[in-house]
Amino acid sequence: MMRSILLIGIAAIALSACDGDPGPQQYGATPNLPEPQRGLLPSMTIPRPANWGNDRPTVPEGYTITAIATDLRIPRQTLVLPNGDILVAEGSGGNAPALRPKDIIAGFIKSLGKSSAKGGNRLTLLRDSDGDGTYEAQGVFADNLNAPYGLALANGAIYVANQDSLVRFDYRDGQTQASGPPTVVAGLPSAINHHWTKAMTVSPDGRFLYVGIGSNSNITERGMVAEVDRAMVWQIDAQTGAHRPYATGLRNPTALTIQPGTGQLWAVVNERDEIGPNLVPDYLTSVREGGFYGWPYSYWGQNVDTRAQPQDPQKVAAAIRPDYSLGAHVAALGVAFSTPAMGTNFADGVFVGEHGSWNRSVPSGYKVVFVPFRDGRPAAEPIDFVSGFLNGEGNARGRPVGVTVDPRGALIVADDLSNTVWRITPR
């Protein structure tokens, strides 16, 4: 049985290389959406891991990129602390069983593009003691965590979103190790865990934590019972752990951030698969309290997905159209607002880490882009800010995940394929 499934998978890889995919990516508020394409198997092509050697990712003229930590254990998200130290969440989670032969094939193909390192289940602290851009000190701040992902600092504490719980470490400025085991603030949905990452950010006053919880399927193939408390953003009281749905219908909100000066919550969201190489666009959007964003009944507003049964026309009518298309299957996993310290051309907007596609014959993503803003809204096509993760042979030397802006003028990028943290600065 397994041999037959793998043979089907090999055939799918061969077919995907000549399936006519794709047209140009569509970006912005009004992308052109093609008709859905259904078939036995979607296109499944993932670049294989390759070494950087003496090369480095490409950054704009006038900027410098440096590897400030290497040989990590699946770095996902980072947090810049007030004294300039950087926390790195390292780990890998998920335990969803395959439902269909295509799930086994997809899992196999995805695994070809991953690091062979084992997830660290820890927080690593990086320190640049003299401010010269070299992080000469590196140590474990806390370990024995469960696939940590989201990070936040508030109320004299570091909050960590594991795949199954939100926990808190007491923190004092300059501390290099946790003073003890964490306190559990709230449990998080973790049964099945088709999408295991738990993105997180904190309200400006520190009162609430916002946690992104992905769906338990692509398009409800496990049934709606499996989707209770899924595909949404929770608002959690930082002191009591009490929670409520803040926004729903977000298939997989993989990174959250607060817009400076407005307090507005923003997210990047990974959309659904298996209806074509150019559907459905992953997106960047402001997140409205009480808003519904379509999953599973529709996408990009009122475009009905007939695979979701039973249908819910009232939900479709209420679905909010996202603010900005990033393109289909780019797998956005990081988002951060910029500051003027990042230079004039990149002062107003957001950086987005795009982990990269596995289900297109021509890869998309595999870079960090900058989305320019004007008057508080996305205003132009994305600009490549960190690229070159794919080499000339089409293999992947890295895959960006979390992005964090150091207010002193640096972009921190976690790369979970080369297990590196990169730092990009204006010269």
pLDDT at residue 99, as a whole number: 85
In 10 A of CB 84, how many CB atoms? Answer: 16
* Predicted local distance difference test score (pLDDT) of residue 44: 84
Average pLDDT on 341-363 reads 96
User: 376 vs 9, which has greater pLDDT?
Assistant: 376
Please report how many Cα atoms fall inside a 13 Å half-sphere around the Cα of residue 114, on the Cβ side: 16
Does residue 18 surpass a pLDDT of 60?
A: no
- 315, 292, 184: which is closest to 238 by C-alpha? 184
Query: Exposed, middle or buried: residue 176 (CB in 10 Å: 0-12, 13-18, 19+)?
Result: exposed
pLDDT, one tens digit per residue, over 232-254 is 999 999 999 999 999 999 999 99
The amino acid at 164: D
Q: What does the pLDDT read at residue 237?
A: 98
What is the Cα–Cα distance from 194 to 332, expressed in whole angstroms? 17
Residue 235 vs residues 153, 201, 208, 228, 408: alpha-carbon distances, Å: 16, 10, 6, 16, 30
Q: Which residues of 252-287 are buried (b: 16+ CB within 10 A; e: fewer)?
A: bbbbbbbeeeeeebbbbbbbbbbbbbbbbbbbbbbb
- Nearest-CA neighbor of 324 among 272, 379, 271? 379
Closest CA to 233 of 311, 305, 286: 286
Q: Is 416 exposed, middle or buried (0-12, 13-18, 19+ CB in 10 A)?
A: buried
Instruction: Tell me which of 2-16, 80-94, 125-139, 262-276 is least confident.
Output: 2-16
In this prediction, residues 208-216 reach a mean pLDDT of: 98
Burial class (CB in 10 A: 0-12, 13-18, 19+), 139: exposed
pLDDT at 14: 41
Over residues 384-390, mean pLDDT: 98
Specify the pLDDT at position 38: 86
Contact 342, 426 (CB under 8 A): yes
Tokens encoding 24: 């140009």
Report the run of H or E that residue 320 belongs to, with start and end. none
The share of the chain scoring above pLDDT 90, in percent, equals 87
Query: Residue with structure tokens 């009518």?
Result: 317
Query: Which range, of 40-54, 306-320, 407-421, averages the lowest pLDDT?
Result: 40-54
Report the sign of the C-alpha dihedral through residues 18, 20, 21, 25, in that order.
Answer: positive
Res 189 pLDDT > 60: yes
Residue 199 DSSP class:
E
Q: In the chain, what are the domains?
A: 2-19+36-426 (2.120.10.30)
pLDDT of residue 24: 53
Model confidence at 9, pLDDT cuts 50, 70, 90, reads: very low
Q: What is the mean pLDDT of residues 371-375?
A: 98
Q: What is the distance between the alpha carbons of residues 148 and 186, in angstroms, rounded to a whole number?
A: 14
Ranges of H-type helices in 128-211: none
Lowest mean pLDDT among 46-55, 65-74, 92-101, 383-392: 92-101
Assign residue 327 a region (left: φ > 0; alpha: ψ between -120 and 50; beta: otherwise): left
Q: What are phi and psi of 289, to 5 degrees?
A: -60, 125
- pTM of the predicted structure, to 2 decimals: 0.95
Average pLDDT of the residues in 74-84 = 98
pLDDT tier, 103 (very low <50, low <70, confident <90, very high otherwise)? confident
Q: For 176-179, which contacts have Cβ atoms below 8 Å and span 24 or more sequence positions?
A: 176/85, 176/125, 176/127, 176/137, 176/139, 176/141, 177/125, 177/139, 177/140, 177/141, 177/142, 178/123, 178/141, 178/142
Specify the DSSP class assigned to residue 231. Answer: S
Banded model confidence at residue 21, pLDDT cuts 50, 70, 90: low
> What percentage of the chain carries pLDDT values higher than 70?
94
Of the candidate ranges 37-46, 130-139, 389-398, the one whose mean pLDDT is the lowest = 37-46
What's the whole-number average pLDDT of the chain? 93
